[in-house]
Amino acid sequence: MTVVPAGTSLHRVHHIDYPGASFNPCQGPETRFTPLRDGETCVPTFYAATSLDGAAYETIFRGIPSPYATIPRQTLDDRGASAIEPRRDMALVPLFSPELIGWGLDPREVFSPNLSSYGFCQALAAQIWKDNPGADGLIWTSIRDNSAQAMLFFEGRVRTTDFTTSMTREVRSDPSLLDDIAAAGRRAGFIIAR
């Protein structure tokens, strides 16, 4: 396990219906590690990262095929960002290269940008969840922003009350959030069309 200590500053970029440390109840688009299924049951989860840029790259800018892509501003109207901190240490299963290699997995395949890898990654997350009842979630290096670590937290192992939320902003009411997301995207040549 990798331990993320209590008080660590984390960031989320999320749908405004799921602010702070609230869990997505298995709705929304398919991602690399979600939906997380235990048979027919879906385990609610939420993503976070160690920086706002990392959170933006794991959500808004993930899956964009090429640099210099334009993202329509109106597609961000239902987005928000939250700054959160765990109230307790979080034990996360590491999905870093050494651990993946130790399990006989090729990190390039696990974190392939090809959407065809998602089914395998979702099955891997479900197996990790099942085999590690003490795990609060997963941690890996952000694919799109390797200066950040990304995390997925499991509901049931973690409660919303295990986090404090110091700030939540929404794109539609706080222009500074749109500016921050646009600045993050410009690092890779992504443009938010206003």
Domain ranges of the chain: 2-67+81-170
Per-residue model confidence (pLDDT) at position 193: 87
Per-residue model confidence (pLDDT) at position 17: 92
Per-residue model confidence (pLDDT) at position 116: 84
Per-residue model confidence (pLDDT) at position 67: 65
Tell me the C-alpha distance between 92 and 113, whole Å: 23
Per-residue model confidence (pLDDT) at position 97: 96
Six-digit token string for 22: 């609230």
Block residue for tokens 């765990």? 86
C-beta separation of 37 from 122 below 8 A: yes
- How many other CB atoms are there within 10 angstroms of residue 189's CB atom? 11
Q: What is the pLDDT along the chain (194 residues), one digit of tens a residue?
A: 999 999 999 999 999 999 999 999 888 778 899 999 988 899 999 999 999 999 999 999 887 766 667 888 999 999 999 999 999 999 999 999 999 999 999 999 999 877 888 899 999 999 999 999 999 999 999 988 999 999 999 999 999 999 999 999 999 999 999 999 999 999 988 889 87
How many degrees, rounded to 5, is the angle at CA 89 between CA 120 and CA 91? 25
* Nearest C-alpha neighbor of 90 from the set 34, 45, 151, 38: 151
Per-residue model confidence (pLDDT) at position 182: 95
